[in-house]
Amino acid sequence: MNSQDVILGLLMHHSLSGYDIKHKLETIFSYFYNASYGTIYPTLSKMEKEGLITKQSVIQEGKPNKNVFTITEEGQHHFKTYMYSPVEDNEFKSDAMTRLFFGEFVDTEVVVGVLETYLERTKNSLESLRKLYADCQPEMSPTQEICIQIGISNTESQLHTLTKGIARLKIIEQK
């Protein structure tokens, strides 16, 4: 899976601007996929050159013009090829987890601080996911609903483990 596959999937629903694509990645996809403008726009340009999408400039009064992207028949075929391909292993990167793994090389209070920050961010993520689910659930397909439920369950599990881990490290720190 790459940014091209995700963008083509988004365009399967309807035409979108680059800004709209970024917004969807920051909301609906936030718990399992991330891409920056620095990835999105070069990918859109490459996809247009390959004939997977078309671009239409929309003139807006009082605002800069925007480009709206539409998937082509070839793009739909490319996306369906991706959907029928074997599932790849998940990739996961976390600065907090890396610091936790190497926590033995710093004071326990440093690790506790990292985990408390991670805990707060995870609480915020859970709140955002629950709100997103409540807002979008009526329009979600069954598969989209399962996807966000997985995100909520995983985040709840992380909160539970972080809370227990912080308490455990604070006991060690007091000794």
CATH number (domain holding residue 9): 1.10.10.10
Residue 75 sits in the same domain as residue 103: no
Domain limits at 15? 3-84
Tokens read off for 168: 């455990």
Amino acid at site 38 = G
At which of 45, 63, 84 does a domain end?
A: 84
CB 117 within 8 A of CB 162: no
The whole-number pLDDT of residue 153 equals 97
User: What is the arithmetic mean of pLDDT over 16-42?
Assistant: 89
**Are both 38 and 109 inside the same structural domain?**
no
109 and 157 within one domain: yes
Q: What is the pLDDT of residues 38-68, one digit of tens each?
A: 889 999 999 999 999 999 999 888 888 899 9
The span from the CA of 148 to the CA of 33, in Å, is 12
Tens digit of each residue's pLDDT (9 = 90 or more) over 139-171: 999 999 999 999 999 999 999 999 999 999 998
